[in-house]
Amino acid sequence: MGYLFLTIAIVSEVVGTAALKASEEFTRPIPSIIVLLGYAIAFLCLSLTLRTIPVGIAYAIWAGCGIVLVALASYVLFGQKLDAPALIGIALITAGVIVVNVFSRSITH
């Protein structure tokens, strides 16, 4: 269940962050509500994740996946392009998340 809650937390945070851009500094009501709900769900699910996954590992996965997915969402939704250094950095973040998930013994399954 830990990874299910973590996945929901990541997706909710990405939706909330994408809506943050669309909220135009909280001047648009619907995107603003989506921001608040997205972050509330994200933090609730992240807290439930911590029942089975250590906080350092859960946060590293959450933050790493969030960065990659927000960059992808920004490209798709807002046309924000990334240069080569940004893409290399995102690739390294992805590699780090994979290393943590595949090789770390800190994760309880």
pLDDT attached to residue 101: 80
Give residues with Cβ within 8 angstroms of 54, minimum separation 6: 106, 107, 108
Average pLDDT per run of 10 along the chain, which is 109 residues long? Answer: 95 96 95 98 97 90 93 93 93 90 72
Q: Give the residue extent of every domain in the chain.
A: 2-103
Q: Give the pair of three-digit tokens for residue 70.
A: 């927000």
